[in-house]
A and B are shown apart, each in its own frame.
Chain A
Amino acid sequence: AQSVTQLDSQVPVFEEAPVELRCNYSSSVSVYLFWYVQYPNQGLQLLLKYLSGSTLVKGINGFEAEFNKSQTSFHLRKPSVHISDTAEYFCAVSAQNRDDKIIFGKGTRLHILP
């Protein structure tokens, strides 16, 4: 079975500062990894995903994430945040070539400070 840990439930950061949202996963098999974002009063949408190949994945709105197999991590980064990045961010994992279940983390709420 797979599991996801997002250690930070909330992350405050000043506008135009860099941010890193941490995600660690556990799995006995190879995985696919995802970051979804939920803006206030909106549904979840995909930010980016890692399936294979390059470990650095670029997504929408200037976000990127790096897959680190040895550390079982998939941290999300943005070099300069904007007030519009205020949202809840969910890391998710699924097993390759298995079933279709995706396991989500508990989410990290990003607060952008003016």
Chain B
Amino acid sequence: GAGVSQSPSNKVTEKGKDVELRCDPISGHTALYWYRQSLGQGLEFLIYFQGNSAPDKSGLPSDRFSAERTGGSVSTLTIQRTQQEDSAVYLCASSPRGGSYNEQFFGPGTRLTVL
């Protein structure tokens, strides 16, 4: 079946502009995660959703970052007034159900470049 998909695959934007990154999880997966992968920094947890709720938003770096999930499926990560330090690969993952013991299935990522 189809895996996790993310769009766009690449995004180049100018400093100060807003961007929206989209994640389509595997059908039926109730848990969805967003991470940021910067060079040499590994994966930084941003937010996770169980259904449409986000019990843990503690990883969002600033109030310029927000995320939502609708219909228990698609999620969008929005970055307002982008800064150069926001440049990174943004990864989405989904899991069949809640519980940190479950395998996460990762998408290919969106590479964001802020000029």
Is residue A67 contacting chain B, with contact meaning CB distance below 8 A? no
**Distance from B101 Cβ to chain A, minimum over Cβ atoms (Å):** 5
**Distance from B90 Cβ to chain A, minimum over Cβ atoms (Å):** 12
What CA separation (Å) do A49 and B42 show in the bound complex? 19
Is residue A94 contacting chain B, with contact meaning CB distance below 8 A? yes
B residues within 8 A CB of A7? Answer: none
Is residue A95 contacting chain B, with contact meaning CB distance below 8 A? yes
Is residue B55 contacting chain A, with contact meaning CB distance below 8 A? yes
Q: Given that A46-B104, A101-B56 are contacting pairs, would A106 and B41 also be in contact in the complex, using a CB cutoff of 8 Å?
A: yes
Query: How many residues on the B side are at the interface (Cβ–Cβ under 8 A)?
Result: 31
What CA separation (Å) do A62 and B42 show in the bound complex? 24
Determine whether the beta carbon of B108 is less than 8 Å from that of A94: no
Determine whether the beta carbon of B101 is less than 8 Å from that of A98: no
Determine whether the beta carbon of B56 is less than 8 Å from that of A99: yes
Determine whether the beta carbon of A94 is less than 8 Å from that of B100: yes
B residues within 8 A CB of A46? Answer: 103-104
**Distance from A51 Cβ to chain B, minimum over Cβ atoms (Å):** 5
Q: Given that A43-B107, A100-B31 are contacting pairs, would A51 and B101 also be in contact in the complex, using a CB cutoff of 8 Å?
A: yes
Determine whether the beta carbon of B42 is less than 8 Å from that of A107: yes
Q: What are the interface flags for A83-114 relative to B under an 8 Å C-beta threshold, 1 for contact and 0 otherwise?
A: 00000001010111011111111110000000
**Selected contact of A103 from candidates B41, B45, B91, CB within 8 Å:** B45
Determine whether the beta carbon of A104 is less than 8 Å from that of B43: yes
Seed contacts A99-B55, A100-B56; 4 additional CB < 8 Å A-B pairs: A43-B91, A44-B93, A94-B100, A101-B48
